[in-house]
Structure 1
Amino acid sequence: METLSNLFKIRGEMSRKAYLATVVGTFAAVFVLWSLLSYSQLVDPTFLPSPGTVGKTFWHSVLSADFWGYVGISSYRVLMGYLFTCLLAIPLGILAGTFKFAEAVLVPLTEFIRYMPATAFIPLIIVWIGLGEPAKIMVIFVGCFFQMLLMVADNARAVSNDLLQASYTLGAGKLQVLRKVLLPALLPELMNTMRLIMGWAWSYLIAAELFAASSGLGFMIIRAQRYLQTDMIFMGILVIGMLGLIIDRLFALLNKKLFPWAEGGR
């Protein structure tokens, strides 16, 4: 049995059973509050549909081929934007976190751009690329790239300098230190960064599907908003949340399997 002193101790430990019970209890509390507000009609059903109504909408959608097409195309856009982000941001971030010259070139400019909202780039993206799939992928890429570069640079800087100096002392060359010491040492935190940025990628999906989209979960939500179909909006948001949660758990499991010595998500 967990004591209150243990539960509220800074960086205190918590048993797995208590942790899972807390997670389930939190979700249950949100569900109960939603049910009370909707079924009692304290909030107009137009603005807050009941869990039952959203459940029926979800069930009818699951039986529709269009719904699975929307899930597929949205997942494709997110994964492609995320893949291009990783391919460019990870090596650049490692360079920026390892070499001062690369840091001077990349970090100040990236810190400046990252405060610009990705949606502000949409008009330019349309002018440069058009209205097709590449433009939607580019919105997700722009939203994630600058954040990931800076986070990866921090991961590289967090590797102990004593570890690197010890490698030089033992006769390792610069490339050997990079490949054999720096990269393996930053991998656990890099995996956590990749996991966090995947969440960012899903959050930019709606922005990516705001313009000239005729498919996708974001398009479905925007179309439902026009007709005040709040049950469809709730369903779309919950589906995106479930997809993101599944991917997040897969990242956490992979991190735990590959790097059991590092702290990871439960």
Structure 2
Amino acid sequence: MASVHPTSTPSIAVRPRRRALAPLEPVRAQSRWLLGIGFFILFFAAWAFFTLGGYVSPTFLASPVTMVQEAILLFTEFNFMFDIGMTIWRVLAGFILASLIAVPLGIAMGAHKGVEAFLEPFVSFCRYLPASAFIPLLILWAGIGELQKVLVIFIGSVFQIVLMVAVCVGAARRDLVEAAYTLGANPAGIVKRVLIPGAAPEIAEILRLVLGWAWTYVIVAELIGSSSGIGHMITDSQALLNTGQIIFGIIVIGLIGLVSDFAFKALNRRLFAWSSL
């Protein structure tokens, strides 16, 4: 008598439902924009509520309306566009100078352990020194002109870039290096054709992050001995207790930094389209 086996049903993999607040769950680009803009709306609404409602004295915190009025005054009567241009120039000059020196040094440290052993203690020591502490010395060495301000940004950026690039290059995959040696590459070719191309997307991301730090150093550089720039305007406004202009100067720095960050991201995606960054 033939035995009858029950019909087996194929197992179907069931994808779990996506949950909006699940850990590491991706967010659509449109939702990301809406959420980001929504936070700014809530922030300005709370600011307006406490200032326009009389809960905070205008001496300590200007209202959004007052800030807009002061912003118009800055552009129409105090040539604030010139101050913005000077600040952007100082940031770019100090950051580009730091990048031109720090990136090759970082690549050398990451690629050659002897160079790393020689330079890392000094670079690590300098990385913890605040850039503002150098201002008295820089004034003695370079005066109170543009060079002093550029050097503050340079000192604040260069040591960070060196170490971060060194770590990035030093983390290269050993199997790729060994494969290149097997194919006949020499040490210089390893650096040029394996280490640098492999680390290039991450180096670009490091530069994007450090550019954001450079914007914090420029205000410190402009607080002393400066006759132009956003930091100079903030200092003058503080002496007059004009919180509207102070807040607007801070917001302008944030907006310029945000635009430069998005521009850096777009450039990185264009240059390294094959990377996941």
- When normalised by structure 2's length, the TM-score is 0.90
**Per-residue deviation, residues 152-197 of structure 1 (Å, max 9, x unmatched):** 1111122212211111111112222211121111111011111011
Give the corresponding residue for 1:119. Answer: 132
Note the C-alpha offset of 1:52.
Answer: 1.2
> In the TM superposition, what are the counterparts of 1:158-177 in structure 2 within 5 Å?
158-177=171-190
Which of 96, 106, 110 is 2:119 aligned to? 106
Give the corresponding residue for 2:22. Answer: 8
- DSSP-derived class of the 1:47 partner: coil
| Paired AA for residue 81 in structure 1 | G
Is 1:183 the counterpart of 2:196? The answer is yes
- When normalised by structure 1's length, the TM-score is 0.94
Output the CA distance in 1 between the equivalents of 2:37 and 2:144: 42
- DSSP-derived class of the 2:19 partner: helix
Note the C-alpha offset of 1:246.
Answer: 0.6
- DSSP-derived class of the 2:228 partner: coil
Q: How many residues align?
A: 261
* Cα pair 1:7 1:13 within 8 Å, conserved: no
Note the C-alpha offset of 1:61.
Answer: 2.1
Give the corresponding residue for 1:28. Answer: 41
Note the C-alpha offset of 1:64.
Answer: 4.2
* Cα pair 1:78 1:201 within 8 Å, conserved: yes
* Cα pair 1:78 1:205 within 8 Å, conserved: yes
Give the corresponding residue for 1:155. Answer: 168
Give the corresponding residue for 1:67. Answer: 80
* Cα pair 1:7 1:14 within 8 Å, conserved: no
Note the C-alpha offset of 1:6.
Answer: 4.4
Unaligned 5+ runs, structure 2: 1-16
Unaligned 5+ runs, structure 1: none
The farther-off stretch of 80-89 and 128-137 is 128-137
Is 1:141 the counterpart of 2:145? The answer is no
| Paired AA for residue 13 in structure 1 | P
- DSSP-derived class of the 2:43 partner: helix
| Paired AA for residue 194 in structure 2 | V
| Paired AA for residue 53 in structure 1 | T
Give the corresponding residue for 2:205. Answer: 192
Note the C-alpha offset of 1:245.
Answer: 0.7
Note the C-alpha offset of 1:217.
Answer: 0.6
Output the CA distance in 2 between the equivalents of 1:159 and 1:37: 52
Stretches of 4+ moved more than 4 A in 1? none
Q: Tell which structure's C-alpha radius of gyration is larger.
A: 2
**Per-residue deviation, residues 206-236 of structure 1 (Å, max 9, x unmatched):** 1111221111110000110011010010011
Output the CA distance in 2 between the equivalents of 1:26 and 1:166: 49
The CA RMSD measured in Å over matched residues stands at 1.5
Identity %: 41
Give the corresponding residue for 1:79. Answer: 92
